[in-house]
A and B are shown apart, each in its own frame.
Chain A
Amino acid sequence: MNLKKSLIIAFAISIICIISWEMYWRSQGYYPTLNDEKALWSMHRANVEKATRDDVVILGSSRAYFDIQLNEWETVTGQKPIQLASTGSSPLPIFNDIVNNTDFKGTVIVGVTPGLLFSTTYPKAMPWERPQAKVNYYQDRTYAQRLNFLLSIPLQQNLAFMSADEEKWADDIDLKALLKRIKIGDRIESKKPPFYNFGEVTIDRNMSMTQRTVTDTAFANSITEVWKFFGKSAPPPDKESTMAFFLKDVEKFKAKGGNLVLVRFPSSGGVRIGESHGLPRKDFWDDLVQQANVKSYHFEDYEQFKNLKCPEWSHLSSEDARFFTTELVQLMIVDDVITNSKTN
């Protein structure tokens, strides 16, 4: 047995294979991106512990994530907010965590996606379980997990084939995802359409829509198919329990001296029609704003936001998100909802 020879052969072939694999996926249009994972969320959640009264924390679902651009926010206010929005999530579990497990007394912006905020308080339901898993991960994460994440950042930022996202996108290219693409026969009927990744996140958790979603209508339509699927399969909203849960935390947060702002981000096309029909503004948003008694912004109330179009009906393109953020922040400054550290 000549192990040295085997080792050298294995090393050489491995290097060739890995380089070839990387080049192949780059030739297919993939490029290095970060995964939007619990570890990244936790890194930013930790920042809330030392945040001051002047800091801003953003909560909500993917709309609050895609539609607020952190650099634009910082350009206007001089301060980067802490982005803790979570895709496909109710904001309630994370707001509950911030209110009950931290001393934070600054500004919390809660993005209201009616279909998610008013969905449920059932712990096993997807809109609740997903954000709660992030909170639990933050509370339970080990030092080894923190170290693993820090070590993985340069790899994710430099290698295109590192794409095993927690979301398990249909276009991920880790081995498990590639095997999942193989279909033989029709033993079971898969009702959920393929869900492709349509955003990219940076280390400061700034999420922006990929250019492909804006320019490739067929690709954008594949995302709208997913919204249609969720729209059809979603159970009816549970306004009573979600409102009660949220308002309890709102009162607690206000009593601590915190500043809460509600924002209804734009939607368009079929999603907007579905929301207007299933969760009418008067019954849900207006009632929430009235009972919470906090400053609020609904995109329909502002001329500059009214006609923004979402390429896949639910999120703004990167360009529109930058515009939206700049305008929204200026409105908030005028209303004295947030402070401009540049002028103070």
Chain B
Amino acid sequence: MLFNSLSFAVFLVIVLALYYSKLFNWTNKKRMLLFASYVFYGLWNPPLVILLWISTVVDWTAGKRLAVEENQRKRKFWLLLSMFVNLGFLAFFKYGDFLLENFVSIVNSFGIDYKVRPMDIILPMGISFYTFQTMSYTIDLYKRKIKPARTFLDFALYVTFFPQLVAGPIVRAKDLITQFYEEKRATSNQFIWGVFLLTIGLFQKVVLADTLLSGVADDVFGSDKLLHGIDVWTGTLAFSGQIFFDFAGYSTCAIGIALMLGIILPDNFRYPYASLGFSDLWDRWHISLSSWLRDYLYIPLGGNRHGITRMYVALMLTMLLGGLWHGAAWTFMVWGGLHGTYLILEKLQKQYLPFKITKWNGIFLAFITFSCVNITWVFFRAREFDTAWNMIKSMFYMQTNGEKILDSFNIIKVCVVIGILFLCHWIMRNTSMKEVSQKTSPWVLGVVWAILFFLIIIAQGSGEQFIYFQF
């Protein structure tokens, strides 16, 4: 089920009505939320709920054993079982065809004529999110950082909580499970703020991503022609805005919906396009994934504890795997590799060419960072290396004979939207929407809210899927 759909609107009203009715005690409310979460997921593809159940049961069992087991070998076994099941799901469902395809290529490169049909495995929605979430639970238990969930119901709801089930934020057990222990009710201010966040999220998705930007990005990245530099830059900028509004929109909706239930989810984005460098970017973009990769991959790989070379290797490996997390294609690896390179270069710059960031050079630095990020988006969005490479060449005018496919209005529209996006991020980078809202008159906030809602209604989004669902 998509947040930007009529069925979800009906679903949410029913869930809220049941949640705030006096029909259930807290345990039954949690049961209702769990059942609703399975319905939310099952309305997409009912049999794949079984994967959620398997992941839940395996990690619950492993978690319980890890909490009481003292024998180190047995503890390792339970951790590995959890990792094997979750990563096994990912390997099969997400990377099965990719692995097969590359295996065939390697075999063929040895001169052996081997052909195999793709398995055409369906990718279960949100599998990368919920497997990472449940793995964090067992890893934290293994490291004795957290206590196990008190009841199976609390744990199952942690794995399946519908607002963040299919595209995050990837919430740690200590931040979410404990919230299920005591009855939660949103205060009226929390509830209304939740509705406001839901409106903001839907506006980002339906109006900004789908209506204003996706068409241009699709035209440019879907073109099989060699394009003019301006068209490629416009398409890339459009995609950079589309993916931000799409994903940040989803996260904002998720946070808002959870808040309407009195549950607090962490921020997933903090105005990333005004980042001052790439370390700053990864503190602001998809925060729940980057912190997951930092805690469960980068630090176990050695982090910065074993010298500079090892740190760079750990950094690069983390970013490459982070790229692969997004999709089973080499283009995603290049995307991750580019980000890894940026991070290494930034660390070298800080070591050998340090300079002070002032308010004068800050916006320039943010612009440079944003421009470099745009280059990486070409590899992220293009499905083929040839397409990506042609686009990169066009962007830097190494090919000036490219075809023009965008009209002037579309170019102006994208530049205006992305320009406003960049400036908004710059202005907001040290504050939050809540802080700004608190300083805003209720009338102004109400009028802005109405305009956003009205634009969502007239945009009539036809239920476009969120980009991150495919990851």
**B419: Cβ under 8 A from any A Cβ:** no
A8 and B74 alpha carbons, distance in the complex (Å): 59
- List residues of chain A with CB within 8 A of the CB of B457: 14, 18, 21
- List residues of chain B with CB within 8 A of the CB of A144: 1-2, 5, 7-8, 43-44
B32-54, CB under 8 A of A: which get 1 and which 0?
Answer: 00000000001111100000000
Question: Of B1, B442, B455, which contacts A1 at CB under 8 A?
Answer: B442
A37 and B97 alpha carbons, distance in the complex (Å): 32
- List residues of chain B with CB within 8 A of the CB of A187: 404, 406-408, 411
**A161: Cβ under 8 A from any B Cβ:** yes
- List residues of chain A with CB within 8 A of the CB of B451: 13
Question: Of A5, A13, A163, A174, which contacts B442 at CB under 8 A?
Answer: A5
- List residues of chain B with CB within 8 A of the CB of A175: 207, 211, 455, 458-460
**A255: Cβ under 8 A from any B Cβ:** no
Task: Report yes or no: A14 in contact with B43, Cβ–Cβ below 8 A.
Answer: no
Interface segment, A68-76, A145-153, A226-234?
A145-153
Q: A3-B192, A10-B449, A148-B6 are in contact. Are A176 and B211 (CB under 8 A)?
A: yes
**B110: Cβ under 8 A from any A Cβ:** no
**A218: Cβ under 8 A from any B Cβ:** no
Question: Of B196, B413, B455, which contacts A3 at CB under 8 A?
Answer: B196
A298 and B182 alpha carbons, distance in the complex (Å): 75
B408-425, CB under 8 A of A: which get 1 and which 0?
Answer: 110111000000000000
- List residues of chain A with CB within 8 A of the CB of B409: 179, 182-184
User: In the complex, how many angstroms separate the beta carbon of A248 from the nearest chain B beta carbon?
Assistant: 23
Q: A4-B192, A145-B463, A187-B407 are in contact. Are A179 and B446 (CB under 8 A)?
A: no
A148 and B443 alpha carbons, distance in the complex (Å): 34
A187 and B230 alpha carbons, distance in the complex (Å): 11
Among the interface residues B193, B196, B457, which one has the most CB atoms of the partner chain A within 10 A? Answer: B457
Question: Of A17, A147, A164, A185, which contacts B454 at CB under 8 A?
Answer: A17
A184 and B404 alpha carbons, distance in the complex (Å): 15
Task: Report yes or no: A1 in contact with B450, Cβ–Cβ below 8 A.
Answer: no
- List residues of chain B with CB within 8 A of the CB of A163: 460
**A142: Cβ under 8 A from any B Cβ:** yes
Chain A: CB-nearest residue to B445: A6
- List residues of chain A with CB within 8 A of the CB of B411: 187
- List residues of chain A with CB within 8 A of the CB of B438: 1
**B453: Cβ under 8 A from any A Cβ:** yes
Residues of B within 8 A of A (CB): 1-2, 5-8, 10, 42-46, 188-189, 192-193, 195-196, 207, 210-212, 215, 404-409, 411-413, 437-438, 440, 442-443, 445-447, 449-451, 453-455, 457-460, 462-463
Residues of A within 8 A of B (CB): 1-14, 17-18, 21, 142-145, 147-148, 151-152, 155, 161-164, 166, 174-176, 179, 182-185, 187-188, 190
Report 27 cross-chain contacts, Cβ distance below 8 Å, ordered by A residue. A1-B437, A3-B442, A5-B443, A6-B192, A6-B196, A7-B449, A9-B445, A10-B445, A10-B447, A13-B450, A14-B450, A14-B453, A18-B457, A21-B454, A144-B44, A145-B463, A147-B43, A164-B460, A175-B459, A175-B460, A182-B409, A184-B407, A185-B407, A187-B406, A188-B404, A188-B405, A188-B407
